[in-house]
Amino acid sequence: MKVSLFVTCLSEMFYQNVAKDVVEVLERLGCDIDFPKGQICCGQPAYNSGYREDAQKAAKQMIATFEQSEVIVTPSGSCAAMFKEYPELLKDDKEWHERAKAVADKTYEFTQFIVHVLKVEDVGAAYSARATYHTSCHMLRLLKETEAPFKLLANVEGLEMLPLANNYDCCGFGGTFAVKMAPISEQMVDEKVRHVEETTATLLIAADNGCMMNIKGRIDRKGKAIDVKHIAQILNSRAEGSV
């Protein structure tokens, strides 16, 4: 299957290794990966801040970039969810609305694609750790994805998964929310970190780089001995590691 990688801003700027791991996992599963060079920000920051026209410009650029792709995969539930918003965002323009819908219908978050499209639940990964998983808001509430990450992690050799209390609660990132409402965001991420500590896990796994950045930043500032990794990094581990 020909897969176009939507790398996302955070992967490109801060988490290049996550993008590499996504490519390597998908290639191991038989996918042929390409990287459309016209891709930019999906427009989510502008959209969430109420700048609809700016978001429409970004959406049109992304639609034009990816509309020839067979399937689009991204290591971010929130960015995948933004692609799903494009038809509504462009609903007043018939031509762009139809083009937006075509792109949205073939866009998947990384773990969604593996489990629901490739029909794979065991990628042959091995990673030794006591871990817990953070459920990101957009992936859970907008993509309605509740199973794929857990099915994949359940088949990682050596990985002990521990339940996270209130895992459905937001970590406080929310894009520009963390900047505009910093005191509230700080309280939210402190609560998330406290629940992670309660699990006794030494590793927190997430499927969204924004959440990873926010939670790991707080963990590091508080001096906690908890590592944070994207699920792609775990699924691309072929030999037992340790945290």
39 pLDDT band, cuts 50/70/90, is very high
* Contact between 81 and 8 (Cβ < 8 Å): no
pLDDT at 163 over 50: yes
Residue 134 and residue 112 share a domain? no
Average pLDDT over residues 204-211: 94
Query: Quick one: average pLDDT of 79-93?
Result: 97
3-state secondary structure 157-221: EEEEECCCCCCCCCCCCCCCHHHHCHHHHHHHHHHHHHHHHHCCCCEEEECCHHHHHHHHHHHHH
- From 116, 144, 165, give the residue that closes a domain: 116
Mutual orientation of helices 94-105 and 52-66 as an angle, nearest 10°? 60
At residue 171, the pLDDT reads: 85
CB contact at 8 A, 74 and 7: yes
Same domain, 81 and 179: no
Q: Quick one: pLDDT at residue 185?
A: 85
Per the structure, the count of domains in the chain is 2
At residue 80, does pLDDT exceed 50?
yes
Based on the number of CB atoms within 10 Å of its own CB, is 177 exposed (0-12), middle (13-18) or buried (19 or more)? middle
241: in domain: no
pLDDT in tens, 91-138: 999 999 999 999 999 999 999 999 999 999 999 999 999 999 999 998
Question: Which amino acid type is present at position 215?
Answer: I
What was the pLDDT predicted at 174? 80
Predicted confidence band of residue 243 (pLDDT cuts 50, 70, 90): very low
Overall average pLDDT of the 32-37 stretch: 97
What is the pLDDT at residue 167? 86
Query: 214 and 128, same structural domain?
Result: yes
Residue 242 lies in a domain: no
Query: What backbone torsions phi and psi does residue 237 show, to the nearest 5 degrees?
Result: -85, 120
Which residues constitute the domain of residue 208?
A: 121-235
